[in-house]
Amino acid sequence: MKNTKLEKKLLEIFNILSKAYGPQKCNLDHSTPLQLLVSTILSAQCTDARVNIVTKTLFKKYPDAKAFASAKLEDLEQDVKSCGYYHAKSKNIIAACKMVMEDFDGVLPDEMDELVKLPGVGRKTANVVLGDAFGKPGFPVDTHVLRLVQRIGLCKCDDPVKIEFQIAESFPAEKLADLSHLLISHGRKRCPARKPDCDHCEIKELCPKLLKASK
């Protein structure tokens, strides 16, 4: 059920951050939905900048699902080693691409229910792909988004899936991916986990923590 109070606050935050940062997009370099899927898997516990360095040559070596599905595990591990957790990530990428080849005729599916069937793909990864590769409603809840929605008082729970659904129910579907990008940008620039820059925060008038402290 739509929460009108939450909807109003989300729209205020969206409008303020849009003016502050301008249009935002996924920081992971990709030219196909499958490349974005692979990049997102690699980005777990790794910076986007490092992933982009790795995938610049990786996608030349493995241009499609067929190539990844045929890759030798030990070879792929060496190719993505600098991204961390390379054994699990390589194993999931190969397994996911094998499933894409076998179950989806080599074409990455564009539906949540099908994407999360792929090894190593949770709702966050699926939402990234849906929103940024397919232009479908998707609200990825990463560590920045999780931190901000709690600090700003948008959601009280700490379950990413519950947060995703609460936000999605109270915000225009076509802007969900953009909202996630804006929150991520704000989390990185202004509201990091440690030492948030509250004095210069663009949305401090909407932050209950700061409002309470000012009284």
The C-alpha R_g of the chain, in whole angstroms, comes to 18
For the chain, domain boundaries: 4-25+139-209, 33-132
Catalytic residues: 124, 142
Q: Please, what's the b/e burial string for 150-159 (b: 16 or more CB within 10 A of its CB; e: otherwise)?
A: ebbebbeeee
Confidence of residue 1 (pLDDT cuts 50, 70, 90): low
Pick the CATH number of 4-25+139-209 from 3.90.1010.10, 1.10.1670.10, 2.60.40.290, 3.40.630.10: 1.10.1670.10
Among 3.40.50.300, 1.10.1520.10, 3.40.50.720, 1.10.340.30, name the CATH number for the domain at 33-132: 1.10.340.30
Whole-angstrom CA distances from 42 to 2, 5, 132, 154, 215 are 34, 37, 16, 29, 45
CA–chain centroid gap for 11, Å, is 20
The pLDDT, as a whole number, for residue 213 is 47
Which single residue is written with the structure tokens 């990008």?
Answer: 181
What confidence tens digit (pLDDT) does each residue in 90-137 have?
A: 999 999 999 999 999 999 999 999 999 999 999 999 999 999 999 999
Instruction: Tell me the pLDDT tens digit for each residue of 31-40.
Output: 999 999 999 9
